[in-house]
Structure 1
Amino acid sequence: MDQSITRVHEHTQKGGSLWPFKPMSGLYCDVFLILSWLAVWQIGRLVEYTEHASVWFPAAGYTLACFLVIGWRALVPIMIAAIAITVWNGHHYSLPLSNSELMWGGFLFGIAHIIPYFAGASVLGHLLRKPDVTTPLLIVSFLMIGCVSSLIATQLVIGSLVVTSQMPAADVKDAMLPFWIGDMAGVVVLAPLFTGFLVKVCAAPKIDLLAFSSNNPPHLTRYFKKVAINVALIVLVMLLAKITQSRDSAFAIFFLAITHMWIACTESTKRNVISLAISSLCIVLLVHTLALMDYVKVYQFALNVIAANALFGIAIPQLQADNALLKDRVFVDSLTQAYTREYLAQRSALEMAQSRESGNSLYFVMFDLDKFKRINDELGHVDGDEALRNLSQVTKSALRKTDVFARFGGDEFVLLLPNISKQNALNLVERVREGINAITVSNVALSSSFGVTLMQQDDSLETLIQRADRALYASKEKGGNTITLI
């Protein structure tokens, strides 16, 4: 991710996105940031339930996203916007302050608001640019940064409001918690959405989100149905709170954690973030429309908890994919796609236990290529690898679904043949031998030798290997290209 800050833009230009507008830079970008920040701030004011406290504060998430995507260049536009909104606020609330006093208050507010989110974005951006960062680590870091940054911003901003006579000191105690939770909701719920938006509209973003994005899966209709179910649930539980006028009923909103985890585990990162934004917007609008301000702290906490839960859900598909990849690396040989020796040890223990319990036969076969060292020395390791890959393909085509084919080491391979008669086992091995005989690499025909043994009740994997190895050695003594059963 650290190779180029323009990869996202290049990806867009190549058709990786449906965003139709040319990314902005320079003065156009600065003006856009000022206007968009003011618009986002006004969205928060729509659901303000007391002075300086909103159900959520989208501007906090937008500020963090601006610094994360654009860096220090966002400082001046956000400061200008902070001063402008403070002057507007002073007139809106009829504060007994002159324009110069409001501008000074806006400057202090800007500093108090900018410092925590700039610091948080710097730490988060550093993590994003590390090549080995994982999605779970990124999510935990984001949630911690959002919590701490919003807490520090709350304390600094309230302090600046008191110092500039925009808030009475007596109101600080009651305003601190709702102010902080509202800011944190704006960061946790909306910063991911704002970040993805800014990456598309601003030229040369400082971060690359491609490594943490996934293509939208199919079934867009199913996604819309999930969102519709989510919205319906929000409406029902909030109507319940309105009808019953009970704080206990308001806590039903936490059931949204279930549906959002469902979306997080089955949809792409982008769709998950969008659904979070839709749900949070529905909640804050219904708090205002249904006059549920008495329960506003319940809904504020719910927004944060549901968002954190859903963001952790994003990591589940990646963890599953990482676990599957790790399992493949441990249990599947990268060259031949045969199972590894580690898998053979585990599967052998299972097959041997089942054979003892059922009384069914289990044949153990060890084989290798004749004169493989000579192939490597005379033709080269590229041809040697090609010989092993061809051997693997031929062998797999001759096996049953219940059989196990593993690479034991070098050019040595093992077969586990459960629940099979002696004659059928030998016929199967013969088909493998004939298939290998038909392989040519650089005009050199291949051949192989086999050692076959039947598991006895007192056998261990080690004794099976030893006996099959003796049988393989006997085949070599006969001149190779043959099968020996002992």
Structure 2
Amino acid sequence: MQQPPSQNMEFEPPPGKVWIYTTLVRWPVLSDLLLILMWLLLWQVSSLMEYEPHASIWFPPAGVTFSAILLLGIRAIPAIAFCCIAVTFWEDANYATHLPVHQLLETGALFALAHISAYTLGASLLKWLISHRDHHQLPSLLLAFTIIGPASALLASYLTQTALMISGVVQNSPESRQLWLPLWVGDLLGIIVLTPLMLGILRRVYPRCGGWVSELGLRQTPGSVWEFVLKLLSAAVLIVVVMMLTAAFHIKEMAFAIFFLSIPQMWIVYTETPFRSGISIALMSCLTAVMMKYLALGEDALIFQFSISVLAASSYFGLLIPVLASSNNRLRELTRKDVLTQAYSRQHFFPQAELEIQRARYYRHPISLVVFDIDHFKQINDRFGHSIGDIALISLANLVASQLRQADMLGRFGGDEFLLLLPGSDINDAIATAERLRTSLPQIQIKGLHAPITGSFGVTEIGSEDTITSAFETADRLLLEAKRQGRNKVLSPS
């Protein structure tokens, strides 16, 4: 199994921002202050989106907490605990409850314990899965995130409800015992919507942490900023139009048109970077929540919350499409090309050669096969090392490829043995090509290799009854005969 990436892998700062990176590394307390500021700022955003007391359409701090613990582990806990206690006093001021300081401290501490313990459990489980992953498990990790994240939010909401009841802020009544549901939906959206984006941001705030983030494979070249802004504006217009029509006509079913938001979002997911996709999800969610708040669409809250969660989840799985396509292309390339020499692999060469033979017969063109290898290659490996042997193979393949026509095919059969298919070449042309290559081989200069490189060649023209396999057997016998006759020769049928 592949070893997990080092957790100490450093973030590579963008050009022109090295001084920010250096400052954050030298003064880690600044990173903690930025985390606190981010958490409190997003808490204030969530308090502006409340459609019921203690219930927002989404709760961004949950995403920050889950991301911070996932990235930093226990290091994030003091900063988050401070934030939980601070917002308890802030809530007291907002609602003018004027609770005693000791009760506020107790409430804040209980809230911090409930909030942090639930997300520490979920983030630790997800981090454990990440540490045991390999490059082909990204889909399963995203699936695990969409299960563990909501489960952590459910636990956090229930524990928070219990904490509020224990502290006396909320009365223990049948209605209050249902508080966990709106709390859960808000926290769930905060995690689903913001965790990937917060990981990207916190990775920059804490440059020495979370090297595994850059190893997840979600890479893509960013496009034009203005094109991205245009896509965001198209999504924003759709949100505004749908929600204003819902508010104007008071038709509940009209709110479901918000699901059309998936069209511009998928446009962004498939054409922009994962980081920009995260930004778009966060911005669309925020705009939806703000519009719902100020258009008094509280009765439709569940519709909009559900639409945001579906949009976020589908976006993350949509990100897998370019990743999987890239992986498939790499696997396809590995089956086509020899990794070391970049010549065609044996598995690819033989089927393609058979097609070329059929084409040559159809047009009644000659076609020939050359099989060759490096003389005394085993001695090169034994005397100078396998690294020198690898360089010799690469140099040979590069030299041969530079002298071929576009239609010619170079393949590696295995070891130091190569195949060369020459469409349109009869036996005389093929012998001339092989002789040109044979005389060129000693020109290869390899540091550490003192003897010149030579090669032996077997050449045959592929007849009307031949297959690529029978032609290879013929050329390979000629190659062996060239070696028996002293090597550094080109042999063909008499």
Q: Check 1:349–1:194 CA distance in 2 against 1; reply closer, same or farther (3 A cut).
A: same
Following superposition, the deviation at residue 283 of structure 1 comes to 1.6
Counterpart residue identity of residue 114, structure 2: A
Moved more, 199-208 or 285-294: 199-208
Deviations 1:1-59 (A, max 9, x none): 75453723xx3498666857832867666665555433321211111111222110111
Distance 2:119 2:51 in 1: 24
Q: Check 1:456–1:254 CA distance in 2 against 1; reply closer, same or farther (3 A cut).
A: farther
Distance 1:150 1:414 in 2: 60
CA contact (8 A) 2:374 2:455 kept: yes
Q: Check 1:349–1:183 CA distance in 2 against 1; reply closer, same or farther (3 A cut).
A: farther
Counterpart residue identity of residue 471, structure 2: L
TM-score, normalisation: structure 2: 0.84
CA contact (8 A) 1:129 1:207 kept: no
Q: Check 1:76–1:4 CA distance in 2 against 1; reply closer, same or farther (3 A cut).
A: closer
Pick one of 192, 195, 200 that aligns with 2:196.
Answer: 192
Counterpart residue identity of residue 150, structure 2: C
* Secondary structure in structure 2 of the residue aligned to 1:408: strand
Following superposition, the deviation at residue 201 of structure 1 comes to 3.1
Moved more, 210-219 or 274-283: 210-219
Following superposition, the deviation at residue 460 of structure 1 comes to 4.1
Pick one of 160, 167, 174 that aligns with 1:170.
Answer: 174
* Secondary structure in structure 2 of the residue aligned to 1:337: coil
* Secondary structure in structure 2 of the residue aligned to 1:321: helix
Following superposition, the deviation at residue 379 of structure 1 comes to 5.7
Counterpart residue identity of residue 178, structure 1: P
Alignment of 1:225-374 (within 5 A): 225-352=230-357, 354=359, 361-374=366-379
CA contact (8 A) 1:449 1:475 kept: yes
Distance 2:164 2:207 in 1: 35
* Secondary structure in structure 2 of the residue aligned to 1:210: helix
Following superposition, the deviation at residue 406 of structure 1 comes to 0.8
Aligned residue number for residue 22 of structure 1: 23
CA contact (8 A) 2:223 2:272 kept: no
Q: Check 1:26–1:396 CA distance in 2 against 1; reply closer, same or farther (3 A cut).
A: closer
Aligned residue number for residue 457 of structure 2: 450
Counterpart residue identity of residue 418, structure 1: P
Alignment of 1:24-423 (within 5 A): 33-90=35-92, 92-93=94-95, 98-129=100-131, 132=134, 134-163=137-166, 164-166=168-170, 169-172=173-176, 175-202=179-206, 205=209, 209-212=213-216, 214=219, 217-352=222-357, 354=359, 361-376=366-381, 381-421=386-426, 423=428
Counterpart residue identity of residue 86, structure 1: T
Aligned pairs, number: 484
CA contact (8 A) 1:64 1:187 kept: yes
- 2:462 pairs with 1:462: no
Counterpart residue identity of residue 166, structure 1: V
Distance 1:173 1:402 in 2: 76
Distance 2:14 2:445 in 1: 47
Moved more, 454-463 or 65-74: 454-463
CA contact (8 A) 1:125 1:207 kept: no
Distance 1:430 1:168 in 2: 94
Q: Check 1:454–1:67 CA distance in 2 against 1; reply closer, same or farther (3 A cut).
A: same
Following superposition, the deviation at residue 142 of structure 1 comes to 2.4
- Give the superposed CA RMSD: 3.5
Q: Check 1:40–1:424 CA distance in 2 against 1; reply closer, same or farther (3 A cut).
A: same
CA contact (8 A) 1:471 1:484 kept: yes
* Secondary structure in structure 1 of the residue aligned to 2:406: coil
Deviations 1:197-229 (A, max 9, x none): 333334754665333464753533333333333
Distance 2:380 2:81 in 1: 72
Deviations 1:57-99 (A, max 9, x none): 1111122123233332433443343234334434534559655
TM-score, normalisation: structure 1: 0.85
Moved more, 288-297 or 455-464: 455-464
Distance 2:469 2:207 in 1: 63
What's the % identity of the aligned pairs? 35
Following superposition, the deviation at residue 282 of structure 1 comes to 1.7
* Secondary structure in structure 2 of the residue aligned to 1:170: coil
Deviations 1:341-378 (A, max 9, x none): 22223423543555566665543321223444455556
CA contact (8 A) 1:335 1:385 kept: yes
Deviations 1:415-449 (A, max 9, x none): 12335555544444444334335446656444333
Counterpart residue identity of residue 187, structure 1: I
Counterpart residue identity of residue 452, structure 1: V
CA contact (8 A) 2:360 2:367 kept: yes
* Secondary structure in structure 1 of the residue aligned to 2:418: strand
Deviations 1:95-138 (A, max 9, x none): 59655444433333222222111112222334455584654344
Following superposition, the deviation at residue 157 of structure 1 comes to 1.7
CA contact (8 A) 1:331 1:340 kept: yes
Q: Check 1:393–1:78 CA distance in 2 against 1; reply closer, same or farther (3 A cut).
A: closer
Moved more, 96-105 or 336-345: 96-105
* Secondary structure in structure 2 of the residue aligned to 1:169: coil
